């Protein structure tokens, strides 16, 4: 049985070709969904993030043809006249009664995409979904991990669960392939206690709060990223201000605006090679006219366009 499935009705991301086997790709970028949610308490959990992949795919159609449409974020077509191949591998099979197996499949799918030479782009799921995504990069790198998020996600466990959405960056810090972590967009209060902040700082995390971005610009974050290295990007949608992305589980005012995120992604592509992207924590039930899902799709295609303009893709075939 395949590790990925095409759910019907299935609209691929931006109507790109489907790729049924992630192990046999001829692509520069491979999108896949991982509709994982890891509830701490099923009675109080928001499980709607499992619908994120379908919602982002649906809204991505409004972006038009990236080879033909002028994009004012770039001053030209997104693919800049180049032969860029993006495919959609469907969704990782995710049985909520066997989350360890689902996580193992997500790692396997990501690893197969990497082995093909394509850049994996994962649509979550909640913010526990990136943990198995990161694990697929073991044996590669070293990487700088850049996270956009309102929260720091450094809890060791919550109610005995060590791979939930509050522990994402703690688990990432334990991977040998991750050399540096830069976390952008923190604000207000969340699940983090003082001890988690101390642990993150002891590890060497560079925090760049949302307020610092608003006051100093994205250069405050970019200066924390070494030149010429490899970069994994992970975006929790609540890192973006809820006036831009209202459809999230934990909205908090004062987040990054869309132009902050776009400038940061473009700046990262200019500083190093983008090795992978995950974007998670969209809650379609809380969205307004699909604007959050549409914004998520725009961020994805912006990072693809940035990789095109820095020569990272299209790859040689």
User: Is 317 a member of any domain?
Assistant: no
The pairing of strands 70-71 and 76-77 is antiparallel
What angle, 0 to 180 degrees and rounded to 10, lies between the N-to-C axes of helices 291-309 and 52-60?
Answer: 70
What average pLDDT does the segment 271-294 reach?
96
User: Is 265 a member of any domain?
Assistant: yes
DSSP string, 181-245: EEEE---S--S--HHHHHHHHHHT-EEE-HHHHHHH-THHHHTTS-TT-EEEEEEEGGGB-TTT-
CA pair distance 109, 167, nearest whole angstrom: 22
By residue range, what is the domain housing residue 303?
Answer: 4-309
The single-letter DSSP state of residue 3 is: S
Predicted confidence (pLDDT) per residue in 109-135, tens digit: 999 999 999 999 999 999 999 999 999
User: How many domains are there within the chain?
Assistant: 1
Which residue would you say has higher pLDDT here, 146 or 20?
146
User: Is 46 a member of any domain?
Assistant: yes
The overall pTM is greater than 0.85: yes
pLDDT of residue 46: 67
Which residue would you say has higher pLDDT here, 147 or 7?
147
User: Is 314 a member of any domain?
Assistant: no
**C-alpha distance from residue 15 to each of 29, 31, 61, 64, 70 (Å):** 14, 12, 7, 9, 18
User: Is 56 a member of any domain?
Assistant: yes
Decide: residue 235, CB within 10 A, 0-12 exposed, 13-18 middle, 19+ buried: buried
User: Is 315 a member of any domain?
Assistant: no
Predicted confidence (pLDDT) per residue in 79-105, tens digit: 999 999 999 999 999 988 899 999 999
CA pair distance 311, 206, nearest whole angstrom: 28
Q: Tokens 């095409």 belong to which residue?
A: 6
Nearest residue to 223 via CA among 180, 258, 255, 279: 180
pLDDT band with cut points at 50, 70 and 90 for residue 166:
very high
What's 299's domain CATH number? 3.40.800.10
User: Is 162 a member of any domain?
Assistant: yes
pLDDT of residue 190: 73
């Amino acid at each position: 049985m395949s590790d990925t499935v095409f759910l019907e009705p299935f609209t691929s991301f931006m109507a790109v070709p489907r790729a049924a086997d992630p192990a046999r790709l001829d692509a520069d970028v491979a999108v896949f969904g991982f509709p994982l949610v890891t509830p701490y308490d099923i009675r109080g959990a928001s499980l709607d993030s499992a619908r994120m992949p379908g919602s982002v795919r649906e809204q991505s159609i409004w972006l038009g043809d990236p080879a033909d449409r002028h994009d004012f974020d770039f001053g030209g077509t997104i693919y800049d006249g180049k032969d860029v191949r993006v495919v959609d591998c469907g969704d990782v099979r995710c049985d909520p009664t066997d989350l360890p197996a689902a996580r193992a499949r997500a790692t396997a799918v990501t690893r197969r995409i990497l082995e093909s030479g394509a850049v994996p782009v994962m649509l979550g799921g909640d913010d526990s979904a990136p943990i198995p995504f990161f694990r697929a990069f073991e044996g590669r790198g070293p990487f700088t991990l850049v996270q956009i998020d309102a929260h720091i996600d450094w809890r060791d466990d919550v109610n005995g669960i060590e791979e939930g959405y509050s522990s994402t960056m703690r688990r990432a810090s334990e991977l040998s392939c991750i050399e540096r972590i830069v976390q952008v967009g923190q604000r207000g209060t969340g699940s983090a206690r003082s001890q988690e902040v101390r642990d993150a700082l002891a590890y060497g995390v560079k925090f760049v709060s949302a307020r610092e971005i608003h006051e100093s610009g994205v250069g405050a974050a970019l200066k924390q990223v070494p030149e010429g290295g490899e970069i994994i990007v992970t975006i929790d949608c609540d890192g973006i201000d809820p006036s831009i992305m209202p459809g999230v589980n934990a909205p908090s005012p004062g987040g990054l605006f869309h132009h902050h995120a776009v400038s940061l992604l473009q700046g990262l592509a200019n500083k190093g090679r983008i090795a992978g992207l995950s974007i998670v924590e969209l809650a379609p039930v809380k969205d307004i006219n699909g604007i959050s899902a549409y914004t998520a799709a725009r961020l994805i295609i912006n990072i693809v366009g940035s990789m095109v303009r820095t020569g990272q893709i299209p790859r040689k075939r």
